[in-house]
Amino acid sequence: MQFLIFSLLIIFYSSLSFAQVKFKVDVDYGRYLLDDSSSFVEIYYSFYKSFVEEDKKIINGSLCVRIQNINTQKTLIDKEWKFDRVIDSLSNQDFINFTGVLGFRLPFGLYGFTVIGKEFSKTILVDSSSFKVDLSNYPAEMFSISDIQLATSIKQVETNSSSLFYKNSYEVTPNPVSFYGDGLFVLYHYSEFYNLNLNLGTEVVTVETKIVNSLGRGIHRKVKYAPRMNSSIVNVGAINISKLPSGKYTLIITIADSLKSLTSSSSKVFFVYNPLVVDTTYYSNFEDDFIVSEFSVLEEVELSEIFKLIKYTAKADELDQWDRLVDIEGKRKFMYNFWKLRDPDPKTPFNEVKTEYFNRVAYSNTNFGTSRRQGWKTDRGRVYILYGEPSEIERFPYQSDAKPYEIWKYNNLEGGVIFVFADLTGFSNYELLHSTLRGELCDDNWNRRVYIQ
């Protein structure tokens, strides 16, 4: 079914001048951080109209945008923009296709968008799109990345430019159709990085730009480094996709601090029509997948740091295998295989298990660290990384007759288990005293260590 849908898309977009579609409006959007309470949403639209011979080559129409807060049911925007567009009388084109952008500042929340395009010719032609947009706040304690905007062109321009597509010293011409090929063989992309100067582990972040095909196999990868002197920066790029066969692809941009094992990613789907290129990526082997992975360029120090982080979940034979490795290439392939074996769905571009694991590491470093120890090295950090967020936490702060302690409950483990942690030294280093989970430390008399005699 997916192949059939994609084939129909190719037929339409590669033969616009012969299409039976009379009028069409394509819509896309991008979300960008403004401040601590609001985001800026851009709506990218593209109008297409075909003509018969006797038609005047003009579009006389409008675009209506309605934005409603889903939780409150309040309508924030309900506005119509009218326009006229004429093609040069000497043009031989049998269609008009033009692009625009609208921007809206909105407080954080969940919104329903409805975009309605109309063309007033002999009869009123209408096309519409409806979609939800989640404007959640970006993490305050670490770096993050905006949506990726796909473009047909990006040019650096003067700051006083009057271009409709101007932003942050660039003229970014959007591609709402997300379709390339048929003469358009450079994929331009725009994104923004936020909070780069927070939670520093390195002076630069690694920026990885990758394209994967519909099977999740990488077919393009580029790595660069971005300084962390400023809180926010703009990221633009151009990728030649002339050698890509027809198909569906995903562009993934990831920023990472390797020392703290922090990552943030954004992705965007696009389509390519290129019938002259034969698709050979379906016969990719291990070496191809490994080369485009993030592990193929890691240095010895980075690999060693990551291995320390994964020792909690590594098997005994994997620990022995690592100890026997002597060259960096072997360690890189070990790390690639380690996570490949734990990927619940290798056909997708993301390894959900790996992402969740390192998200837990990052959370532990932020919430359980002490002045002497990183959060992932503490007992609470280890338990959180292995078992995730507890179902319930009972906290007992300083009392006259007891030292601070916490009881973590996991209702989904072995029918319900607990972990008891206590700050015995007064330096916020909560040690594991007792657990009812098999294989963990068990001491039914843990109370003796907490309560002051």
Question: Three-state SS for 336?
Answer: helix
pLDDT confidence tier of residue 126, bands split at 50, 70 and 90: confident
The rounded Cα 310 to chain-centroid distance in angstroms is 23
Last residue of a domain, one of 112, 137, 162: 137
241 inside domain: yes
> Given this model, what pLDDT does residue 425 score?
85
**pLDDT over threshold 70, residue 35:** yes
**pLDDT over threshold 70, residue 287:** no
Q: What is the mean pLDDT of residues 24-33?
A: 92
The rounded Cα 347 to chain-centroid distance in angstroms is 17
11 inside domain: no
- 126 or 436: which carries more pLDDT confidence? 436
Query: Are both 226 and 147 inside the same structural domain?
Result: yes
60 inside domain: yes
Query: Are both 126 and 147 inside the same structural domain?
Result: no
pLDDT digits (tens, 9 = 90+) for 149-185: 999 999 998 877 788 999 999 999 999 999 998 789 9
Last residue of a domain, one of 233, 249, 278: 278
| DSSP per-residue letters across 254-272 | EEEETTTTEEEEEEEEEEE
> Which domain CATH number covers 37?
2.60.40.10
**pLDDT over threshold 50, residue 8:** no
Domain count, the chain: 4
Query: Are both 215 and 343 inside the same structural domain?
Result: no
Record the pTM: 0.60
Q: Are 173 and 153 in contact (CB under 8 A)?
A: yes
Query: Are both 128 and 255 inside the same structural domain?
Result: no
Last residue of a domain, one of 359, 386, 418: 359
> Given this model, what pLDDT does residue 21 score?
53
286 inside domain: no
Query: Are both 154 and 182 inside the same structural domain?
Result: yes
Query: Are both 86 and 195 inside the same structural domain?
Result: no
| DSSP per-residue letters across 262-318 | EEEEEEEEEEEE-TTS---GGG--HHHHHHTSGGGG--HHHHHHHHHHHTTT--HHH
Q: Which domain range does residue 300 map to? A: 291-359
Query: Are both 376 and 411 inside the same structural domain?
Result: yes
pLDDT digits (tens, 9 = 90+) for 210-229: 999 887 788 899 999 888 88
pLDDT digits (tens, 9 = 90+) for 384-429: 999 999 999 999 987 778 899 999 999 999 899 999 999 988 888 8
| Dihedral pair phi/psi, residue 130, rounded to 5° | -130, 140
Query: Are both 170 and 102 inside the same structural domain?
Result: no
444 inside domain: yes
> Given this model, what pLDDT does residue 275 score?
79
